[in-house]
Amino acid sequence: MTTIGFIGSGRIGGALAQLAVAAGHDVVLSNSRGPDSLREAAARLGSRARAATTTEAAGAGDVVVVTIPIRAYRQVPVEALHGRVVIDTLNYDPARQGVVPEIEAGGIPPYLLLQAHLRDAYVVKAFSTVFFRHLPQLARPSGAPGRSAVPIAGDSATAKAAVAVLIDSLGFDAYDVGPLAESRRFAPGTPAQLAHLDPDGMFAAPGRPASAADLAALLEKADLS
Ligand SMILES: NC(=O)c1ccc[n+]([C@@H]2O[C@H](COP(=O)([O-])OP(=O)(O)OC[C@H]3O[C@@H](n4cnc5c(N)ncnc54)[C@H](OP(=O)(O)O)[C@@H]3O)[C@@H](O)[C@H]2O)c1
């Protein structure tokens, strides 16, 4: 089993940690306020979970999930993540999460920001397309009817393979879209980013399963102009 470090243990981090513990993985939770603020959340998850600092979570994880508001990306520890596999769930939503000046200046697109900051980590974009409440609703065992695929993208084939194995254990098929830059095909505003949202109920409705074939069709529709 894998140890998963979490930098950010809010809605997405908490939902993924729950799936991870259920799958038999160990999780190390961290946030901006320090381990004391996470002891109760870790206790609720059981003996496979513990609270730590961000640097400890980064160092402990075979895979480390960075799932914080993107405006805080500079606080993600660089040295502790050197050579590690990192899942990047970050989306850029300036209205709700605050402006990132270097993105606004056009110097770098949001989906490349964390990899540029972490330099020597192997960043894989994943779980940026699933609303947190839908994660437990959509997770299914391997081969079960109605199992969903989630898009992933990254520049390291080895890291993507490790992340795909982890995603499989959490209840989803990983659909490899290509290098990290190709994650623009499932960035906010694209059809693939909305793959699991019921158009009638949106966030209030249960998550809608989307297979790899469904996802492929939606990824094709991305307007990249
Ligand atoms: N919500 C969704 O359904 C969803 C879906 C797909 C992608 N995403 C993306 O995933 C990311 C997380 O979203 P979320 O909804 O889970 O956010 P959230 O509920 O607001 O949780 C954010 C977490 O990040 C922590 N954090 C903030 N600044 C930090 C820092 N400098 N160092 C370490 N931890 C820090 C927060 O800890 P403190 O409370 O201690 O500050 C909190 O645990 C965002 O980039 C979002 O765009 C969200």
pLDDT on residue 224? 84
**For residues 176-197, average pLDDT:** 96
Q: Indicate if the pLDDT at residue 1 is higher than 80.
A: no
pLDDT reported for residue 199: 83
**Per-residue pLDDT tens over the stretch 28-47:** 999 999 999 999 999 999 99
* Percent over 70 (pLDDT), the chain: 100
Here the tokens at position 105 are 């200046």
3-class secondary structure, 108:
coil
In this predicted structure, what is the pLDDT of residue 171? 98
pLDDT band at 202 (very low <50, low <70, confident <90, very high): confident
Atom of ligand 1 nearest to the CA of 70: 45
223 pLDDT above the threshold of 90? no
Pairing relationship of beta strands 49-51 and 26-30 according to DSSP bridges? parallel
What are 102-151's pLDDT values in tens digits?
999 988 999 999 999 999 999 999 999 999 999 999 999 999 999 999 99
* Atom number, ligand 1, closest to the C-alpha of residue 9: 43
Say if CB 72 and CB 112 are below 8 A apart.
no
What kind and span of H or E run contains 43?
A: helix 39-45
Looking at residue 86, which CATH number applies to its domain? 3.40.50.720
For residue 13, give the ligand 1 atom closest to its CA: 16
Whether 212 maps to a domain, the answer reads yes
Residue 225 lies in a domain: no
Residue 181, amino acid = A
For the CA of 89, the closest atom of ligand 1 is 10
Cα-atom radius of gyration of the chain, to the nearest Å? 16
In this prediction, residues 211-220 reach a mean pLDDT of 97
Cα 88 to ligand 1 centre (Å):
11
CA of 126 to the centre of ligand 1 (A): 14
Domain membership flag for residue 76 = yes
Domain assignment of residue 193, given as a range? 3-220
Residue 126 falls inside a structural domain: yes
C-alpha span between 23 and 168 (Å, rounded): 10
Which residues does ligand 1 sit against, CB inside 6 Å?
A: 7-13, 31-33, 37, 54, 67-70, 72, 75, 89-91, 93, 128, 131-132
End-to-end CA distance of the chain: 42
Confidence of residue 179 (pLDDT cuts 50, 70, 90): very high
Cα–Cα distance between 131 and 148 in angstroms, integer?
13
Count of structural domains, the chain: 1
